[in-house]
Amino acid sequence: MNEERLAEQLEQQIRQWSNHLLRESPLLALAQRGALSQVGMAKYLASLRHLFACSERNLRRAALRARELGLEPLAEHLAQKAGEEHGHADWASADLSQLPEAVRGSDTPARELLNLVQLQGNLIDQHPLCFLAYALWAEYFTVLVGETWLAALSRSGFPREQVSAIAKHIEADREHAATGLRVIDTFWTGDPPLGEILAGVERACHTFERFCLEICTLGSHAA
């Protein structure tokens, strides 16, 4: 019987990193100064749209992988989470359409966002539970930093109703993160090892920070 609790370790890791993000993120600081440009916001929303679409597909892929490994309860949970993500990319598309056409560019996602999606696939191949831990990371940190991020965006001229994809995710992820923390230990018997799972979440943290820096650079230099 595994005596460590994965949920406790993940909660501590995500909380510590979220606090770091709130203190140190250049993108958050830029938005709080009211200086995030529409070009930067367009790239951010285009990236979210791509991320949401890929996350739904990858949750289904992770469910199939879990079934291949004979992990049926985990497979059912991942399939349920895939259903919860359906239509979220449309939220980002609607938000993006409110920005002037001239600032939308090619509507392509940021380079580091593509790296984050690639990481999703790598984690599924590693073990579907590693991907479930990643999903919990995404939901829980959204809850922890979301309201601060919305307030900062408002200072830059993007009110809550114009970034509905973010606001709606915060509301949905309150329940999703709480559920995730409650159930993840029921799927974990010690395989994969704890360190392997936490390392995957750490890679997600670093990739997301690079994504934020990419948006910050674009959003501060664009006219």
pLDDT digits (tens, 9 = 90+) for 10-20: 999 999 999 99
Structural contact between residues 20 and 82, judged by C-beta atoms closer than 8 angstroms: no
| Cα 148 from Cα 162, distance rounded (Å) | 16
Percent of the chain that is helix, strand, coil (3-state, to 5): 80, 0, 20
pLDDT at 222: 54
> 223: how many CB neighbours lie within 10 A of its CB?
6
* Percent share of the chain, pLDDT over 70: 96
Note if the bond before 100 is cis, omega within 30 degrees: no
pLDDT band at 223 (very low <50, low <70, confident <90, very high): very low
Q: What is the pLDDT of residue 1?
A: 37
CB 53 within 8 A of CB 89: yes
Asked whether the predicted pLDDT for residue 129 surpasses 60, the reply is: yes
Q: Is the pLDDT of residue 147 over 50?
A: yes
217, pLDDT greater than 60: yes
Structure tokens, 166: 């973010």
Phi, then psi, of 192 in degrees rounded to 5: -70, 165
User: What is the length of the chain?
Assistant: 223
Residue 159 pLDDT greater than 80, yes or no: yes
Q: Tens digit of pLDDT for each residue in 38-85?
A: 999 999 999 999 999 999 999 999 999 999 999 999 999 999 999 988
**Res 105: pLDDT:** 72
What is the CATH superfamily name and number for domain 36-221?
Heme oxygenase-like (1.20.910.10)
- With CA atoms as reference, report the closest residue to 118 among 186, 70, 185, 50: 50
Check whether 2 has a pLDDT greater than 70: no
Q: Which residue has the tokens 């940021």?
A: 110
> H helices of 69-183, where?
72-84, 88-97, 111-126, 128-155, 164-183
Q: Calculate the CA 152 to chain-centre distance.
A: 18
Report the chain's mean pLDDT, rounded to a whole number: 94
- Please tell me the predicted confidence (pLDDT) of residue 9: 97
CA quadruple 98, 100, 103, 109: dihedral, nearest 10: 20
Least Cα distance to 95 among 58, 52, 139 occurs for 52
The residue type at 209: E
Least confident of 1-10, 58-67, 139-148, 149-158: 1-10
pLDDT at 221: 64
**Can you tell me which residue has the tokens 């598309």?**
93
Cβ-based neighbour number of residue 107 at 10 Å: 14
Residue-range domain boundaries for the chain: 36-221
What's the pLDDT at 132? Answer: 98
